[in-house]
Structure 1
Amino acid sequence: MKLVAFGGGHGLGASLRALRRCRPALGLQLTAVVTVGDDGGSSGRIRAQRGIVPPGDLRQALAALADDAAPSAVTAQLFQYRFARSPVAGDDDNLAGHPVGNLVLCGLMELLGDPVAALDHAAAMVHAAGRVLPMSREPVAIEAQARGGDPTRPDELVTVRGQHEVAINTGRVEGLRLLPAEPAACREAVAAVREADWLVFGPGSWYTSVIPHLLVPELAAAIRASAAQRLVLLNLSVEQETAGLTVPEHLTALSAYGGGLTVDVVLGDSSSVDDPEPLRQAARSVGAKLLLAPVAAADQPHRHDPVGLADALLPVLAAVR
């Protein structure tokens, strides 16, 4: 069974950890397709200084798919290790804030001359249980049109540019686009979508991690044309960028940006949905059935529990038509 998961950051990492648990029972061939719009933190610094696709979300996906056994687990831990500021260097410490994996991926991209080759090599280093691909070989900028985020202009539609700025925007997003407007899709990602049995969206930041895949024309066309079943994993908490968006509206936004994209299954957490009926109706509006299960971590209810999520996903994925 071939499965492609779309997203970025911690949300995609949560779904990949769960899917990795489902892999032996289903013989899953996993592919993670990751956004390349990050412009903050270490990724933003590397992107600005070296001109490569931002490595942070790609690194997170590799770590989520890494083998738990030593020495792969140690290598994955090394990838995630972030340099603290050195008391020796002080403010001149250029390594401070960089995870080792970001630097490794940067070096591999420059050495091999191709982000996909770099990711394949890094995946072998951690014995990843799947392949990690960028949605495009070129970095993109995310630009939103938002209303209500500027208290001095509460009714005015303003442009918010950059993934970080969109993520912390407090206004209601009314439009989203990428710059360049039509980035070339990663051809390996398109091929994976065409061969997939399942396409999985979310969880994650809706406007900066999930929907951007649907703004890459060739990738979006492959998603719409795919015969695969489509699954949406809902977020457990409201994020700042979607503060004005209800949970049901997450589904309608995904469908709208996907050009009328339909979905087969929507999976949410049973403890975080007070009234399932509006969500069930929203799921029906995009062609999906709603499933609710205990997928939140007991000690961190805003994060998915990989074991609970895997238990919920396994029978759903096994029922592929």
Structure 2
Amino acid sequence: MLPTGTRGPKVVAFGGGHGLYAALSALRHVTGNLTAVVTVADDGGSSGKLRSELGILPPGDLRMALSALCDDGEWGQLWRDVLQHRFKTDGPLNHHATGNLLIASLWNLLDDPNEGLDVVGRLLGVQGRVLPLSNSPMEIQADVVENGMTKVVRGQSRVAVAPGRVEHVRLFPASAVVNPAVLEAIEEADWCVFGPGSWYTSVIPHLMMPELKEKLASCNAQLLLALNLTNDVETSDMTHGDHLRSFVSYSGGITPRVVVADPTAIDDLDELDEAVGEYGVKLLLRQLHQYGQTAVHDPLRFAAALRDAFEGTITDVAKEGPKN
């Protein structure tokens, strides 16, 4: 993490789950001026149980984002481990994460999602801020085509593993509004970062909020899209170029300034080149994965790529990718 007092560009990172965790683990080395915006549609596991029983936002992805930004000192690392600890029992506490219960307790006491997360952030020594996309829990619905038949799949946990091709996704309730603090962060941002992450359940949901799209279109922030290292069930039939086209479609025509990708993860570089050419987007190819683990981001490699993108040091040599 950057030394205390170091600021850097104002960055807002959008996503959820492990993808956002990877982005934040890298961004913390680039800037101390960071806001994470997390989807609130998770309905599985510990988060789903607490959401259903207590009527609160699903805390799990918010917990992971806070853990990614915790202080590097002994205090921060201890509380990160406490936050991520899961109980293993034969009773109702089985698989609940301590951090989820802590966040739920603070929300009950403070009755303000933002304030509760800020309190956890101070406890962990977080450099930055973690915000929910909306202060109301939401549901993802998807039209999925399998064997020529279209079915409606409801719920983030089900959409994420549904076999077939995702044709379209929707957010409910339609009346949900964007957290005002998120709009304020975008207004002040230098960069907005989308991805990596589960495409239709973590990345795209942000773009389905009209207020957020309007703010992205009117603000001065540049957009960066970080492509995934591997495809998941949601995107098993999508190319990297398809991801960019999908992003522009759901954003209503808003294009990122830079697309960051790992060349070892791209099956068809010409196809991706064609897609970025369609929109006049800069492509930055860097080796982003950990040595020996092609599906896992290396925080320092990812951070170096993001720094180059933010500083505008994208050259033709960079586009060619790393030399092995």
Q: Could you say which TM-score interval applies, normalised by the shorter chain? A: over 0.9
Map of 2:43 onto structure 1? 39
1:141-290 maps to which residues of 2 (within 5 A)? 141-148=139-146, 154-290=147-283
* In structure 2, distance between residues paired with 1:3 and 1:172: 33
Shift of 1:286: 3.1
**Aligned mate of 2:30, from 22, 26, 29:** 22
- Is the 1:182–1:216 contact (alpha carbons within 8 Å) kept by the matching residues of 2? no
* In structure 1, distance between residues paired with 2:124 and 2:153: 37
Cα deviation digits, residues 232-261 of structure 1 (max 9, x gap): 000000100111221110111111011111
- Is the 2:241–2:271 contact (alpha carbons within 8 Å) kept by the matching residues of 1? yes
Cα deviation digits, residues 144-186 of structure 1 (max 9, x gap): 01111xxxxx212110100011000111111110010241100
Matched, 1:58 2:56: no
**Aligned mate of 2:105, from 104, 107, 125:** 107
Q: How many residues align?
A: 305
* In structure 2, distance between residues paired with 1:287 and 1:264: 8
Cα deviation digits, residues 190-214 of structure 1 (max 9, x gap): 1101111001000000100000001
* In structure 1, distance between residues paired with 2:44 and 2:280: 36
- Is the 1:31–1:131 contact (alpha carbons within 8 Å) kept by the matching residues of 2? yes
Map of 2:88 onto structure 1? 84
**Partner secondary structure for residue 21 of structure 1:** coil
**Partner secondary structure for residue 252 of structure 1:** helix
- Is the 1:182–1:215 contact (alpha carbons within 8 Å) kept by the matching residues of 2? no
Which runs of no fewer than 5 residues in structure 2 stay unpaired? 1-8, 314-324
Cα deviation digits, residues 64-92 of structure 1 (max 9, x gap): 0001111111011100001112xxxx3xx
Cα deviation digits, residues 34-67 of structure 1 (max 9, x gap): 0000000000000000011000000000000001
**Partner secondary structure for residue 303 of structure 2:** helix
TM-score by length of 2: 0.92
- Is the 1:144–1:175 contact (alpha carbons within 8 Å) kept by the matching residues of 2? yes
* In structure 2, distance between residues paired with 1:275 and 1:106: 45
Runs of 4+ with deviation above 4 angstroms = none
Shift of 1:270: 2.1
Cα deviation digits, residues 88-128 of structure 1 (max 9, x gap): xx3xx121101100000000111100110111111111111
Q: CA RMSD in A?
A: 1.2
Shift of 1:289: 1.0
**Aligned mate of 1:292, from 267, 285, 302:** 285
Matched, 1:11 2:19: yes
Map of 1:151 onto structure 2? none
**Partner secondary structure for residue 235 of structure 1:** coil
Map of 2:303 onto structure 1? 310
- One-letter amino acid of the structure 1 residue matched with residue 110 of structure 2: L
- One-letter amino acid of the structure 1 residue matched with residue 218 of structure 2: A
- Is the 1:145–1:158 contact (alpha carbons within 8 Å) kept by the matching residues of 2? yes
Map of 2:322 onto structure 1? none
**Partner secondary structure for residue 143 of structure 1:** strand
- One-letter amino acid of the structure 1 residue matched with residue 257 of structure 2: D
* In structure 1, distance between residues paired with 2:245 and 2:259: 12
* In structure 2, distance between residues paired with 1:183 and 1:251: 26
**Partner secondary structure for residue 303 of structure 1:** strand
Matched, 1:49 2:69: no
Shift of 1:3: 0.5
**Aligned mate of 1:71, from 67, 70, 75:** 75
- Is the 1:167–1:241 contact (alpha carbons within 8 Å) kept by the matching residues of 2? yes
Which runs of no fewer than 5 residues in structure 1 stay unpaired? 149-153
- Is the 1:8–1:209 contact (alpha carbons within 8 Å) kept by the matching residues of 2? yes
- Is the 2:284–2:309 contact (alpha carbons within 8 Å) kept by the matching residues of 1? no
* In structure 1, distance between residues paired with 2:234 and 2:50: 24
TM-score by length of 1: 0.93
**Partner secondary structure for residue 159 of structure 1:** strand
